[in-house]
Amino acid sequence: MPVSHVIIYKNEGGGVSLCCPSGELPIEETQRKDTPAGSRIVEGATLPDYEFFNAWELTEDTVKVNFPKAQALTKDRLRHERKPLLEAQDVLFQRALETGKDATSIVVEKQRLRDVTKLVDTATTLDALKGVTV
């Protein structure tokens, strides 16, 4: 999504808001009209990874990704992705119990799914966070 220039500013929640002008008006006019005092015009190419937009923080004229926030976002993503997988494993486990079949592989898979968020704690880069999957 990087565009030539965008307007950024710190929002009420402490994160970063981004205004992408349509081009109908000069960017400076859009800035005056649509963004709060203290907003800044920056090159879109200088902004960090959009995948972690909700972990962006604005300090001075720099937008950085707050790594602990990026880790929390990744854990939330993983929890969302694993929920239906855990539910499916619960059904398989219940069926195995009802029929007397061995449930060892199901127990192992459920534990793997539960532990996937622990992998986030060992990641040290944004690329490593993106690489953690269920």
Quick one: tokens of 113? 């799914």
Map residue 83 onto helix, strand or coil: helix
Distance in angstroms (rounded) separating the CA atoms of residues 107 and 90 = 9
Distance in angstroms (rounded) separating the CA atoms of residues 117 and 77 = 9
Residues 6+ apart with CB under 8 A from 110: 86, 89, 90, 93
What is the per-residue pLDDT for 2? 45
The pLDDT tens digits for 61-88 are 789 999 999 999 999 999 999 999 999 9
Running along the chain, 134 residues long, what does each successive block of 10 average in pLDDT? Answer: 80 92 92 94 92 92 93 98 98 97 98 97 96 96
Main-chain phi, psi angles of 82, to 5 degrees: -85, -20
What is the per-residue pLDDT for 65? 96
